[in-house]
Amino acid sequence: MNKTALITGASKGIGRELASLFAENGINLVLVARSERMLEELKEELKSKYDLSVVLIVKDLSFPSAAQELFDEMKAMEIDVDYLVNNAGFGDYGAFADTSWERYEKMIALNVTTLTHLTHLYARDWRGRKPGRILNISSTAAFQPGPMMAVYFATKSFVLHLSEAIGNEFKKDHITVTTLCPGPTDTHFGEESKMNATQLVKNVKIANAGEVALLGYRAMMKGKPVVIQGTMNKMVPFGIRFMPRKWVTRLSAKVMKQS
């Protein structure tokens, strides 16, 4: 019997590439995103190549009840999820006080609350019944504060620390939690978050979404706790451990400036 992967933010970027990887390996899919058109296009593409089930859920996961609604829909359709991929999220470039609270509220709800709630729901569902694997998409932003994207960086730090902690807790339950931390990646994120004009994006090699997805997929299947994409990206978290925190913040502020 084929296993099933539930992927949020599946319509584009890393989420879309992850959907293709699961499909290549004969794993049924539940794909969640806001864009029905993009989800339908992806489903048509995958069904033309692979003999598997692809269920589409059009939902805005930034609403407080979204995680519970999604979980309940899976139960109503008798879909037993084996792999949970929390990929949905967004960021926004701008001074903290200049950005509306409504924007931050949605960001925290999507990047933190829904991810945490879905993880909690499926961990409780699997515990004592079956093994499961969780892939949470964080970022290299998780390793330092980010002036001009303060809330986004903070949400990604939350994802990393939460995942590491509960991954340790879940060992006895045969549930693995993997955190994927990509740097700047060739997706729509840079345009939507207005990061494309920053020194960070202009002065580093932009990763391919397919390569990032493959790295995350393989790490998830091996049960690795954390995987960082790119040699330089791996060096930064190590290096900043030996720097005073105020230096780290100043350096981060410098690379986050727009040119």
**Residues taking part in catalysis:** 152, 156
Count of all residues that appear for the chain in the document = 259
C-alpha span between 120 and 33 (Å, rounded): 20
What is the distance, to the nearest Å, from the Cα of residue 38 to the centroid of all Cα atoms in its chain? 18
DSSP 8-state code for residue 78: T
Reading the block at residue 150, the tokens are 């303060």
According to DSSP H, which parts of the chain are helical?
A: 13-24, 36-49, 66-76, 101-108, 115-126, 150-169, 189-193, 199-202, 209-222, 231-239, 245-255
